[in-house]
A = this chain, B = another copy of it.
């Protein structure tokens, strides 16, 4: 199945590339100026994931977040790492530390999804009065 270059695709990819944190569907919908349909955004994102251009992170809020892979590679995060989700501001960012998982014999790992949620330093300092 050949991929085509569409405006929606370009807009979403540019957004993810330039974003320092992983973005959920509604974040993307909210940020992007072009009016792209909800289903289309999901379909574009799913295609990116199939093509391994983007990686999908499932938050402990049950929502999907999407991050441009090269961001991770640049930061030497090719391997498994946790993501931190701030329950205050919603940011989902990489934690720069490789995680190794030891599976029992005969187990096959297909996906790694490590999430830590809490309060990021920005929100924590705001809360305690600058």
Interface positions of A (Cβ within 8 A of B): 58-64, 82, 84, 87, 95, 97, 99, 101-121, 124-125
Integer count of this chain's copies in the complex: 2
Contact sample, A vs B, 14 pairs, CB 8 Å cutoff? A58-B59, A62-B63, A82-B101, A82-B114, A84-B107, A95-B103, A97-B101, A106-B120, A106-B125, A107-B121, A108-B119, A109-B116, A110-B118, A111-B118
Q: Is the CB of A60 within 8 A of B60?
A: no
Set of chain B residues within 8 Å of A61, measured between Cβ atoms: 58
- Assembled-state Cα–Cα distance A104/B121 (Å): 8
Set of chain B residues within 8 Å of A119, measured between Cβ atoms: 107-108, 110
Q: Give 15 new A-B contacts, CB below 8 A, not counting A60-B111, A95-B104, A101-B116.
A: A58-B60, A58-B115, A62-B64, A82-B101, A103-B116, A104-B121, A106-B125, A108-B118, A108-B119, A109-B116, A109-B117, A111-B115, A111-B117, A111-B118, A113-B115
